[in-house]
Amino acid sequence: MSSEPTRLWGGRFSGGPAQALAKLSVSVHFDWRLVPHDVAASRAHARVLSRAGLLTEDELKQMLGALDDLERACLTGEFLPTIDDEDVHTALERGLIERLGSLGGKLRAGRSRNDQIATDLRLYLRQAARGLAERVLELVQALVDQAQNNLGVPCPGMTHLQHAQPVLFSHQLLAHVQPLLRDLQRLSDWDARAGLSPLGAGALAGSSLPLDPEQVATELGFNAACANSIDAVSDRDFVAEFLFITAMVGVHLSRLGEEVVLWTSQEFGWVTLDDAFATGSSIMPQKKNPDIAELARGKSGRLIGHLTSLLVMLKGLPLAYDRDLQEDKEPVFDAIDTLDLVLPAFAGMIATMRVNADTLREAAPKGFTLATDVAEWLVRQGVPFRQAHEISGEMVALCDKTDRDLEDLDDNELAGISPHLTPEVRHVLSVDGAIAARTTPGSTGLAPVHQQLNDVIDQLDTWRSWVDAPATA
């Protein structure tokens, strides 16, 4: 073999690239993870060349054998990119030529790195979407299990981080499940749009060779070939959308993480983290810190940043391919790697945390959280809500002034505020009564929460089958 570096564009250049250019240009250190997808696309391309009569049966056989061997060698680490390989495509062509001699050079006919990279990235992301969904599902399962195990435990429901109305803690946990289910839905919606094959677009104009992009698309597990060869090599909407989803997952983890930080504080004491999922302090021996929740909250910043960087990179680009597009990969790879790290830790933290039911139950009525129930009781007695709100507010003011709870007011004090406040109002002055009264679908009563839990559990199997069905051939 010659010791000349493999370069895919040598012909019209008098010498090799300047070192500074080569260093700037190289992407193989991060696009190497696309190897299996680049090889899969190469197999499909080899077959299409053979059907077009551009490779003989025997050449196809040799080509497929060499591709298999090359993939194996890449996976075992026997074949590695060198500093002279500009990108994954260059390295793999070198590997093919090492195996096949000049026959290896035939595979490039009718394709360009422009349609190749767009294809590889779609294949990679469709697989990554399933991996991400699987990890989101693990977190959903942990939340569902906690909701199930703590069914019936009331806690203060909050708005403005102030005690608002009592709710079931399971209801609060399931309120964090719903956004994650929407993320799963987003991934599967995204997958349908991303399921188009750019291969056959060549550099931008398609090919004068009799290729069959639809057949290639089917072989690679895509739903169809891209409709426009210029768009096929320029489009990175699928990356932007993917990064939106990862940013959204990051934001959902961050919001839940923020609550876990609050819940585990001395002031709340709602949950206790398992030792294995909390950290200590190097100086304060008593400390137990919710680092997983904090790292999730912190890392949402970089996930949002990746979406922003991709959109900014794209916004001024003329069609078709521009080298700027190489900047699409590191953000999306890092987004995937980040969530791969965060989600299992987060799910483990949720699965193992101990819910302090007594503390929650005790906190539930604090802050006059039953005042709305008084107002609604008055409405049921025929009092207009506007007036009922005032009456209940006066009860709160009196209790606040005299440092008592709503149920501590005696009959005379109640009657003094309003003749509508008969002693029967005390029936609604209990947390369990307030929660039990909320029977409408989606509300915090035990029956609707139970229903919600069962509906979520029903959906999980559907999502598990989506995760398990491979996207690509």
Q: Figure out which of the listed residues 6, 50, 300, 326 binds ligand ARG, where binding follows CB under 6 A.
A: 326
Quick check: 113 binds ligand ARG (CB under 6 A)? yes
Structure tokens at 245: 């989803």
Q: Minimum distance between the CB of residue 48 and ligand ARG, rounded to whole angstroms?
A: 20
**Part in contact with ligand ARG (CB under 6 A); list of ranges 66-74, 208-216, 321-329, 331-339:** 321-329
For ligand ARG, the closer CB: 190 or 321: 321
Burial zone of 63 (CB within 10 Å; 0-12 exposed, 13-18 middle, 19+ buried): buried
Structure tokens at 409: 């007011």
Q: Figure out which of the listed residues 40, 117, 140, 363 binds ligand ARG, where binding follows CB under 6 A.
A: 117
Quick check: 325 binds ligand ARG (CB under 6 A)? yes
Burial zone of 160 (CB within 10 Å; 0-12 exposed, 13-18 middle, 19+ buried): exposed
For ligand ARG, the closer CB: 85 or 241: 85
Quick check: 120 binds ligand ARG (CB under 6 A)? no
Please enumerate in sequence order all residues whose Cβ is within 8 A of that of 152, keeping only pairs 6 or more positions apart, or say none: 168, 170, 446
Residue 87: which of 432, 391, 323 has the closest Cα? 323
**One of 2, 14, 102, 160 is an active-site residue; which one?**
160
Q: Would residue 160 show up in a list of annotated catalytic residues for this protein?
A: yes
**One of 25, 29, 281, 427 is an active-site residue; which one?**
281
Give the H or E element holding residue 165: strand 162-168
Give the C-alpha separation, 257 to 278, whole Å.
13
User: For residues 83-102, which are near ligand ARG according to CB under 6 A?
Assistant: 87
**Part in contact with ligand ARG (CB under 6 A); list of ranges 175-183, 319-327, 407-415, 425-433:** 319-327
Burial zone of 206 (CB within 10 Å; 0-12 exposed, 13-18 middle, 19+ buried): middle
User: For residues 12-31, which are near ligand ARG according to CB under 6 A?
Assistant: 27, 31
For ligand ARG, the closer CB: 99 or 113: 113
- Phi, psi (rounded to 5 degrees) for 335: -60, -45
Please enumerate in sequence order all residues whose Cβ is within 8 A of that of 312, keeping only pairs 6 or more positions apart, or say none: none
**Part in contact with ligand ARG (CB under 6 A); list of ranges 36-44, 320-328, 393-401, 446-454:** 320-328
Compute how many other C-beta atoms are within 10 angstroms of the C-beta atom of residue 400: 10
Q: Minimum distance between the CB of residue 86 and ligand ARG, rounded to whole angstroms?
A: 7
Binding site for ligand ARG (CB under 6 A): 27, 31, 87, 113-114, 117, 321, 323, 325-326
Give the residue numbers annotated as catalytic, written as ranges. Answer: 160, 281
